[in-house]
Structure 1
Amino acid sequence: MTHDTTQAFFASSDGTLIYAEAVGNKHLPGIVFLHGLALTSLVWDKLLHDPRLLELFYMVAYDMRGHGRSGKPETPEGHASKLYADDFAAVCKGFGLKSPIFNGWSLGGAVLADITSHLNPNAISGAILSNPMPYLDPAVVTAVAKPEILDLIPGLSTTDDVALAFESRFKFIDTLFINPERVPVQTKWAWMASAALPKPQTFGLMISRPQDPTGLFKAGKDGLPLLLFTSGKDRHLRAEAEQEIARTHFTDLTVLHIEEGSHTLFYDFNDKYVGEIIEFGKRVFG
């Protein structure tokens, strides 16, 4: 059975338009997917059309503000924590989602801290963090991020060195996968094009915006179900640091660690990733 994709733009609380797409039966429980730094909802395309998931869930993905087809504010005020939560709320309202599971990958994982800080506790039924930056704080970024990704930030954000900008984006895409040389060129080029869409001068705003993790910690203590994916060969983030933060603050925690996994478990270990989401979703939604 094929499922049509519904594409839409929803206005957030500050008027910024957020691009989102939905696939599947809107009467099923929902999962909302959010991509990582520099990329777009395109990275979820295979998952959004996976028949195993579509049998059970209404699948939604959106472009984080500053990325893809969504609006790209150029001021610190345009990247306030509450606005990231409001973006999620606008997408949920637009597609009629009631307390979905939130799935944030990489930088997208930090948006869970925005949601739990600024929305009602019933805004989500559970959370999946896929190789995540747990939340944005200088000490946390230092503990979690590896030098390989930090060294690419100047090139991603440069506004006056075209050669460095392109070189950094090519390197960035390759660091996502276990065997980048085996990734179809169509996929790599599509992801590369996505990485060219954020405004270079806004990278700093997006990765250093202030967050208060108090709401995140409270949600974890109060029993918000969390499924955490980590990888032993993630070239961007440290699995041990991700796990330590989650274990410290979440009482209902499932950790799936794949020692041979990359930063893109959902791509390199697709079957295992899908299976774990299905089991988690069944438990959360009953």
Structure 2
Amino acid sequence: MALLPLVVANIQDIQTRDNTIERRLVEPVIAINPTDANFGISAVAPGRFVTSADGTKIFAEARGNSSKPVIVFIHGFGIGAMAFNEIFDDPVWLDQAYLVRYDTRGHGRSDKPTTAAAWMSQRLAEDFDAVVQSYSLIKPFVLGWSIGGTHIADILSFHPPNYISGIIYDAAVPDMASLFNVSTPAADALQPGLLTTTNVTQFQATYIEFINLCHPALEWNFYLACLGDGVVQPRAATALLFSRTQNSTAVLDVIAGWQRLNVTTLPGAEHFTWISRPVLFRATVLQWISQNA
């Protein structure tokens, strides 16, 4: 059966999960052919595929002011780089920084390998390297959100500390060994359902609950996109992601001599910090980067 091109229509009125209506800018109508090698890349959704050292294709995107400090955003579990849409569409962010994001392996538009060798710590560090090399980035700041923070341990296990300019942990886990020491009981309770490979109903219910834990009132289309990102991830990739090992002391070894540590609490923030407290989150990150660039 042939796959027909899809047309993404322009949308003006967006219904949110609380049944309010939001007016959004009209985007151009674009045709998308699912068989294209660059499926998902367009003038509206720019980006590129880069090739990691083991051949894995990684989807990446950069926006913003290339004369400003570089921030590479690494997303958390299940939800790809589209998690950062509100940041990458924000003119203040785009004016004050050069923003780079990528779908980590197993997520979004990137390849989704299901062998243990593909989930070694070095492989994830090499994915970051491929993005850095493709965009000719020099000493970027790295923002790791949620389990995305563990990738910083991978990066610093194979590079000296001056490879990056600084670390922003956003409600993050610093390494895989710490994952279940810092997560909440509600999040821990979801693990069996997220890892199941045989019970579709359990996985569906658990993943919906997982997204609701990240933020209970997301805009409807974004909420559906978050659910969709979870569906495209093979269950075997999920299991390998959670069971992978890494040097859990890499970050501690590196940051012992670093300075200008700042710990900030965002009152009332959900796990999607930049959605629930957008102005405070933006000001906190950009101010710290401007002081340390």
1:63 equivalent in alignment to 2:103: yes
2: CA distance, partners of 1:46 / 1:184: 11
Aligned to 1:192: 227
Structure 1 residues 188, 5: closer, same or farther in 2, change over 3 A? closer
Q: Kindly state the Cα deviation for residue 108 of structure 1 after the two structures are TM-superposed.
A: 0.2
1:208 equivalent in alignment to 2:243: yes
Structure 1 residues 56, 217: closer, same or farther in 2, change over 3 A? same
8 Å Cα contact 2:50-2:58 kept in structure 1 = yes
TM, length-normalised to structure 2: 0.81
Aligned to 1:121: 161
Aligned to 1:274: 282
TM, length-normalised to structure 1: 0.83
2: CA distance, partners of 1:253 / 1:71: 35
2: CA distance, partners of 1:49 / 1:95: 19
Instruction: Report the number of matched residues.
Output: 251
Aligned with residue 256 of structure 1, among 241, 254, 264: 264
Cα-to-partner distance string for 1:47-88 (whole Å, 9 max, x where unaligned): 012111111211111011111111112122111111111111
Amino acid across the alignment from 1:9:
F
Where does the alignment leave 5 or more consecutive residues of structure 1 unmatched? 224-250
8 Å Cα contact 1:158-1:201 kept in structure 2 = no
Structure 1 residues 4, 170: closer, same or farther in 2, change over 3 A? closer
8 Å Cα contact 1:38-1:197 kept in structure 2 = no
Larger helix fraction of residues:
1
Aligned to 1:106: 146
2: CA distance, partners of 1:141 / 1:194: 21
2: CA distance, partners of 1:202 / 1:189: 21
SS across alignment from 1:6 = coil
1:13 equivalent in alignment to 2:22: no
1: CA distance, partners of 2:96 / 2:286: 8
Structure 1 ranges of 4+ moved more than 6 A:
none
Aligned to 1:142: 180
Amino acid across the alignment from 1:211:
Q
2: CA distance, partners of 1:37 / 1:44: 13
Structural RMSD (CA):
1.6
1: CA distance, partners of 2:237 / 2:44: 33
1:220 equivalent in alignment to 2:255: yes
Cα-to-partner distance string for 1:91-144 (whole Å, 9 max, x where unaligned): 01111111111001001011110111112322210111100111111xx22321
8 Å Cα contact 2:64-2:93 kept in structure 1 = no
Amino acid across the alignment from 1:212:
N
8 Å Cα contact 1:117-1:213 kept in structure 2 = no
2: CA distance, partners of 1:56 / 1:207: 35
- Greater C-alpha radius of gyration: 2
1:94 equivalent in alignment to 2:134: yes
8 Å Cα contact 1:16-1:71 kept in structure 2 = yes
8 Å Cα contact 1:31-1:101 kept in structure 2 = yes
8 Å Cα contact 2:266-2:280 kept in structure 1 = no
